[in-house]
Amino acid sequence: MKSTGIVRRIDALGRFVLPIELRRLLELDTDSSIEIFTEEDAVILKKYQPACVFCGEAKDVTQYMGRNVCAKCIDTLAQLKK
């Protein structure tokens, strides 16, 4: 896990602001969704991407370099490389 050096306080309603630098880095817009995970004493936030980044298909999706890609798009990309 990589430290960013950024510290934020949680308000009375349990909210905190995710800094703009991190939102830009993760390509999070105001309507983006995030997944929340826990691991021991850590809370992990991850951009929610249930579908293929190319065609939007949610079936038969594999993660590649942090992005979801469906089998059909993988085949298409493999054909381009030949």
82 has a pLDDT exceeding 80: no
Residues 64, 75: one domain? yes
The parent domain of residue 29 ranges over: 1-48
3-state secondary structure of 71: helix
Buried b / exposed e along 26-50 (16+ C-beta atoms within 10 A): eebeeeeeeeeeeeeeeeeeeeebe
Instruction: Count CB neighbours of 69 within 10 A.
Output: 21
CA distance 61 to 9: 36
Same domain, 44 and 58: no
pTM of the entire structure? 0.60
- Here the CATH number for the domain that contains residue 31 is 2.10.260.10
Same domain, yes or no: 44 and 56: no
Say yes or no: 68 and 38 in one domain: no
> What is the reported pLDDT for 76?
93
pLDDT of residue 10: 96
Instruction: Inform me whether the pLDDT recorded for 4 exceeds 90.
Output: no
Tokens for 73? 């798009």
pLDDT surpassing 80 at residue 81: no
Q: Mind listing the pLDDT tens digit for each residue in 13-66?
A: 999 999 999 999 888 998 888 989 999 999 998 888 889 999 999 889 999 888
